[in-house]
Amino acid sequence: MSDPVLQVRDLKKHFPVRTGVLSRVTNHVKAVDGLTFDIMPGETFALVGESGCGKSTTGRTILRLTGATGGQVLYNGEDVLGAAGERMRKLRKEMQIVFQDPYSALNPRMTVGAAIGEILRVHGIATGTGARERVEEVLVRCGLEPYHFDRYPHEFSGGQRQRVVIARALALDPRFIVADEPISALDVSIQSQIINLLEDLQDSFNLTYLFISHDLGVVRHMADRVGVMYLGKLVEVADKREFYREPLHPYSQALLSAIPVSDPAVKKKRIILKGDVPSPANPPAGCPFHTRCPKVMDVCRSVVPELKSTPSGHQVACHLIHPPR
């Protein structure tokens, strides 16, 4: 077995809540609260969960687009959170992101060529004619044309803009990409094209993905392994086939029960969760899911379950699977 490309250990991101005239910190929103997982070379690790569970914050914190409150992130053994100066510049070339909204990810006052070429200039890779050739190369690789170099973002459709954002991420020849809900802002007719493009690029350039999504149908197509987040914590991590065949956590079971079935002859029982997701500024004691869990036990209300592995390697944080001693 090769070593992980990315190792995340007890990662935390807590946003301060300030109140009053003096803006004193009175609380913290625990957006990411102690995540631990690995991503292997060439695989797609999917983070799934409801909106607001901390998926996007996790991706941004890993890349240091937002500062971490605690924990450790290692990229090929290198400490990302502790890197500075030239070390961080080198890591930036290796680790890129595809943002959720292609409309806001591009500067409307810059041509596509200028936006991508600026990255090459800042990192000292190419300028002038060399930069133009490199930009045109990645544009074509992402399904666009060389003449798109001189066009502005408003001249593109949504799907084309997302191709531009992917081309920008690809320009530095990275090895690891965070794909943060890369198709959620696109028309359904375009989504499959972008998914196919991401898969083709992964095969061609041996990329490793952290794929963030709430669409379990897309995740089933894209992912190698799946991690389920709830209220800033990982509650389940498993191989894709095992996860979809036999989810162990009650929250995962509810998520999968909501996937539409195309065959009307197939009867599928929906698991309807009662109540609302608790506030990450005031999470419940014990298991974070116990306030909505249909299988809640007394121990769930007081003891936080640990993310532990079953004999098959399926990780789950649930007292039903791993009863406390």
Domain boundaries, given as residue ranges, for the chain: 249-325
User: SS3 helix, strand, coil % of the chain, rounded to 5?
Assistant: 35, 25, 45
SS3 call for 233? strand
> Is residue 40 classed exposed, middle or buried when 0-12, 13-18 and 19+ CB atoms within 10 A define those classes?
middle
In a structure prediction context, what are the per-residue pLDDT tens digits for the chain, which is 325 residues long? 679 999 999 999 999 999 888 889 999 999 999 999 999 999 999 999 998 899 999 999 999 999 999 999 999 999 999 999 899 999 999 999 999 888 899 999 999 999 999 999 999 888 889 999 999 999 999 999 999 999 999 999 999 999 999 999 999 999 999 999 998 888 888 899 999 999 999 999 999 999 999 889 899 999 999 999 999 999 999 999 999 999 999 999 999 988 877 767 777 788 888 888 899 989 999 999 999 999 999 999 999 999 999 998 899 999 999 888 7
Separation between Cα atoms, residue 35 and residue 62, nearest integer Å: 11
- Residue in the block written with tokens 């190792």: 7
**pLDDT 10s digits, 117-172:** 999 999 988 888 999 999 999 999 999 999 999 999 999 999 999 999 999 999 99
> Is residue 188 classed exposed, middle or buried when 0-12, 13-18 and 19+ CB atoms within 10 A define those classes?
exposed
pTM over 0.85: yes
What is the model's pLDDT at position 150? 95
**pLDDT 10s digits, 54-66:** 999 999 999 999 9
Residue 106: closest CA among 67, 160, 61: 160
Residue 62: closest CA among 90, 37, 86, 85: 37
Tokens representing 318?
């649930």
Q: What are phi and psi of 303, to 5 degrees?
A: -110, 125
- CB 174, CB 207: distance < 8 Å: yes
- Residue in the block written with tokens 């309807």: 272
- CB 76, CB 258: distance < 8 Å: no
- CB 211, CB 131: distance < 8 Å: no
Helix (H), strand (E) at residue 38: strand 24-39
SS3 call for 297? coil
Q: Which long-range contacts (CB under 8 A, 24 or more apart) does 157-161 make?
A: 157/190, 158/102, 158/103, 158/185, 158/186, 158/187, 158/190, 159/186, 159/187, 159/190, 159/193, 159/194, 161/102, 161/103, 161/105, 161/106
What is the model's pLDDT at position 259? 81
In sequence order, the 6+-apart residues with CB closer than 8 A to the CB of 219 are 46, 48, 211, 213, 226, 240
- CB 190, CB 171: distance < 8 Å: no
Instruction: List b or e across 109-122, with b for residues whose CB sees 16 or more CB atoms inside 10 angstroms.
Output: eebbbbbbbebbee
Residue 205: closest CA among 166, 233, 240: 166
What is the model's pLDDT at position 325? 76
What is the model's pLDDT at position 1? 60
**pLDDT 10s digits, 27-45:** 999 999 999 999 999 999 9
